[in-house]
Every structure is written in C-alpha cells, then in structure tokens.
Amino acid sequence: MAPADPQHLEWMGLALEEARRALATEDVPIGAVVIGPDGTVLGTGRNEREALGDPTAHAEVVAIRKAAARLRERAMLDGGSGDGWRLEDCTLVVTLEPCAMCAGAIVLARIHRVVFGAWDEKAGAAGSVFDILRERRLNHWVEVYAGVQEEECGLLLRDFFAAHRTAG
C-alpha cells in the first residue's frame, strides 16, 4: 500500500473528531467531512440516526447536505451561478467505507474523490461488498482512497460495539 497523502491524514483527523462527537448521542461513531477544491471544509457530519430518529442521517449524507447548502449560499452571495448540489472537484472523507445509500448520494452529488478509513465488510459500497462509486454503468465515477488511518477508524467502531454488547 502506498504511503498516505498528508492531506488525507489531516482531513481524516477532522472526520475522526466528528465520529467521536456521535458518541454523545449514542450514535455509531462515524464522521465525515467534505473538502472543497480549494482545501476548505465545506461541510461536516456525523451519524445522527439515533439523535434525529432519521434512517438517512448517515455522516456522509449530513456532510453532503451541509456542503451543498454552503455552496448554494456562496453562489447567492457572489451573484454567480451554481446550484449548490453539484459538489464537483470536492473530496469526501469518511471514517468508514460508505454504504449503498451513501455511495449513491456521493455519485449523484458528483463528488470527485472519496477517502475512507475502515472497510465495511458487511455493507460497504466502495469495493468490499459493492463498488457503486466506480460502477461504469453510472454517469459519474469517483476516485477512491481506502484504508487511511484504518486502524484508528476501525478501533473506534470496535470499541463502540463491544461496549454495547456488554451493556445489552
């Protein structure tokens, strides 16, 4: 495996911070950030399914929604064009391999690159179970960088589930 890109490591650190914040609401600790083409953070998210009672409140979807709103706001302030929902040239960084729902949202948002930490051998859709992000029959393909800070991302999840197994 090639050495991790220093920017990917920095961005994964931000995603891990978001993941840890999910613990306060008993949500599975998964965090995500959307990075704009200029390297600025456009949106952050963490799992909020438990907090919001919303099955679609995955970290990636929350971050994508925030990033799109910020781009839409920027376009309105600048008087320029832009619909906000096209996150072209953006990077999504997430602590766990995206599921099928999140991978679909990533493709539809036209996100250019996904960087993720731990693999999800049960529900991953970026190469482990499915590979929606690089499915050639779709109209958009995504660059994928897997395994960035994989051990730290995986440990956070393993600790969470171990604590819930012993508590239940």
Helical spans, DSSP H, in 34-149: 49-52, 59-78, 100-108
What is the tens place of the pLDDT at every residue in 63-109? 999 999 999 998 888 776 667 789 999 999 999 999 999 999 999 99
Token pair recorded at residue 99: 């599921």
99 is in an annotated binding site: yes
Token pair recorded at residue 1: 């495996």
Of 110, 163, 167, 121, nearest to 146 (Cα)?
A: 121
Token pair 């309105």 is at which residue?
A: 76
112 is in an annotated binding site: no
Q: Where are the domains of the chain?
A: 14-166
153 is in an annotated binding site: no
Q: Is the pLDDT at 1 greater than 80, yes or no?
A: no
| Sheet with strand 41-46: strands edge to edge | 41-46, 31-35, 91-96, 113-118, 143-145
Q: Which CATH number fits domain 14-166: 3.40.140.10, 3.40.50.620, 3.40.50.2000, 3.30.1280.10?
A: 3.40.140.10
What is the tens place of the pLDDT at every residue in 10-68? 999 999 999 999 999 999 999 999 999 999 999 999 999 999 999 999 999 999 999 99
Which residues are the active-site residues? 60
Q: Is the pLDDT at 110 greater than 80, yes or no?
A: yes
> Worst-scoring range by mean pLDDT, 4-8, 91-95, 139-143?
4-8
Is 135 in a helix, a strand, or coil? coil
- State the average pLDDT over residues 135-158: 96
